[in-house]
Structure 1
Amino acid sequence: MATSPYFASVRAQSSTNHGSTLPKLTSQGNLLAGATARVTVGFILNPFSVLKARYESNLYAYPSFSSAFGSLIRAGPSELFRGFLPSALRDAPYAGLFIVFYEGIKQETGKFTV
């Protein structure tokens, strides 16, 4: 994204070496980067969330963690990613906006440092 002219921000060269080596993105780039990162992590960790929720639930009442894991594996791959879409739709906007505001606040407070 840092090489895309739509998302990359022009990097101002300063006379001091206090700048970051990280690429500077526009607000849209930060929004997309935060949302993409959160959805990717959610996709990877969703099977663990499903396993945890089923193990803690009284509906399934698994006697052990290994029996919960075995039951989930026997149910098939679709069960491992159950609930991923609602979680992604809930988390992506928050994560994207978090990065936008974080970078904005970081940029504004950097003006006050000596």
Structure 2
Amino acid sequence: DIAVVAKVGCPEQLHLPPEIVPDGLDTFGWQPRPSLSGDENAMDLALLLARSSRCRGGSMGCLLARPDGNVIACSTNSPITETDAKRPSSDLHAEVNAIGRCARRGIPTEGITAYIT
């Protein structure tokens, strides 16, 4: 299932600074498509990010974007602890990881839109 939550405003277009993508996540060459809305491009990117998940219980992706379309964080679900398992079964949600990335970098999340697969 796909959900758009914390809806504030539809960005006209999405901008993903390269430094926002954490090591280990692959955007598979994603570029915003002019034929899609900002929301549609955001969900397209969230679905691509989910492919980088290492968790057995499902591949989830999340990105957080400001109303102007600038992406401030992106993440996938991830193991709660480091494990030797190739695909661990317990995980931390993608949206929790994305918000945590903002918190660690001192980036406020008020007024953002979360795109979560």
Higher helix share: 1
TM (normalized to structure 2)? 0.27
TM (normalized to structure 1)? 0.27
Higher strand share: 2
- Which has the greater radius of gyration? 1
